[in-house]
Amino acid sequence: MLNVYKKLSSQILDDLITQSSPVKIVNDPNSETDNNYIVISINPSAPIIREVPKDYEGSYRTLAQAKQASREIIQKSIEDAKQSLVELRQVGLNTIRYINL
């Protein structure tokens, strides 16, 4: 099942990458440009920001907004990982020493 997930997530990522462009250098990340920005969060520990045409569904109008969304995704990922550790400890695994957040 894990291999199916990895293959599917890889295919989705590849499709999104081909539909978007790398982010160009932006002098003012708060300004609107001819492009919008999407945040690809298939791996919530490493979201990717890409340029897309204006009005692309789910996109952000400024790079600053996309960067903030990425930070929020990472923060949520950290919170989820901490909660997972709490749940592991509650089932008797209280000597976990190899995971450090």
- Total residue count of the chain as it appears in this document: 101
Which pLDDT value is given to residue 73? 96
Q: In this structure, what token pair is assigned to residue 88?
A: 């592991």
Dist CA 43 CA 7 (whole Å): 13
Prediction pTM value: 0.75
Give the pairing type, strands 35-40 and 48-53.
antiparallel
Dist CA 81 CA 90 (whole Å): 14
Report the number of secondary-structure helices (H) and strands (E) in the chain.
2, 2
* pLDDT (tens digit per residue) in 37-81: 999 998 888 999 999 999 899 999 999 999 999 999 999 999 998
Phi, psi of 57, rounded to the nearest 5 degrees: -60, 130
85-93 contacts, C-beta under 8 A, 24 or more apart: none
* pLDDT (tens digit per residue) in 9-42: 889 889 888 989 999 988 999 999 999 999 999 8
